[in-house]
Amino acid sequence: MPIARTAEFAFLFFVVPSVIAWGRIGASPLLLLIPITLGAWLALRRDAAFVGHPFRLPDSSPWLVMLWRFMGVACALAAGVAWWKPSLLFDLIRERPLLWAALMVLYPLLSVLPQEFLFRTFFFHRYRALFGEGAGIVLASALAFGFVHIVFGNWLAVVLSFGGGLIFAASYRANPSLPLVWIEHAVFGNFIFTIGLGRYFTSS
């Protein structure tokens, strides 16, 4: 079982994104994310060991921590964009406000939700035998999450996704709730698009 799970882990989170990044698969990453996530969902449905309630919201305890964490990271990112490429700051709102508004709604539903199910709910259950239930699985989830972003062809997407992956994986380990990390990821992701970094997280 560990060998099979290791091979599955390597194939899903390293081989597949590498093949996409090398142009061997021409489909949009989002179009591949959906069937892969559905396959992961079916795998969990057939797994008798998958118990618990990861689809419930936790109590109020994590929300304040999440808020302060977001505010700190958001200020740092906005300041970084203002210093690095000030022309990007809020460019989507200024130039294409309707697209920005559509992204604020569609991105959390079509992209964030399947990502969080795959990289947190599925990942933590499926690969805990490989990485344990502590810091090891948080790091493994973050590394896999960061690496798959090579499909966008730039280092910034990989680095920022690794950092985000650490945040979301740590949140899920402390409070195993899919809605919790979905909301946290959506807030961070929407902010990324708002401050002009969304172009580094798209395939067009």
Q: Where are the domains of the chain?
A: 2-52+63-201
* DSSP state for residue 9 in the 8-state scheme: H
Quick one: residue 26, left, alpha or beta (phi over 0 = left, psi -120 to 50 = alpha)?
alpha
Q: What is the pLDDT of residue 183?
A: 96
* pLDDT tens, residue order, the chain (204 aa): 688 999 999 999 999 999 988 875 656 777 889 999 999 999 998 998 887 667 888 776 899 999 999 999 999 999 999 999 999 999 999 999 999 999 999 999 999 999 999 999 999 999 999 999 999 999 999 999 999 999 999 999 999 999 999 999 999 999 999 999 999 999 999 999 999 999 999 876
Sign of CA dihedral 150, 180, 118, 90: negative
Look at residue 115 in the predicted model and tell me its pLDDT.
97
Length of the chain: 204
Predicted pLDDT at 52: 67
Residue 25: the pLDDT is 61
Residues ≥6 apart with Cβ < 8 Å to 146: 158, 159, 161, 162, 163, 165
Instruction: Tell me the three state secondary structure of residue 95.
Output: helix
Alpha-carbon gap, residue 165 to 20, rounded angstroms:
20
* pLDDT, position 24: 58
What is the predicted pLDDT for the residue at 56?
83
One-letter amino acid at 29 equals P
| Separation between Cα atoms, residue 101 and residue 104, nearest integer Å | 5
* Residue 169 and residue 138 in contact, taking contact as beta carbons nearer than 8 Å: yes
Would you state the pLDDT for residue 30?
79
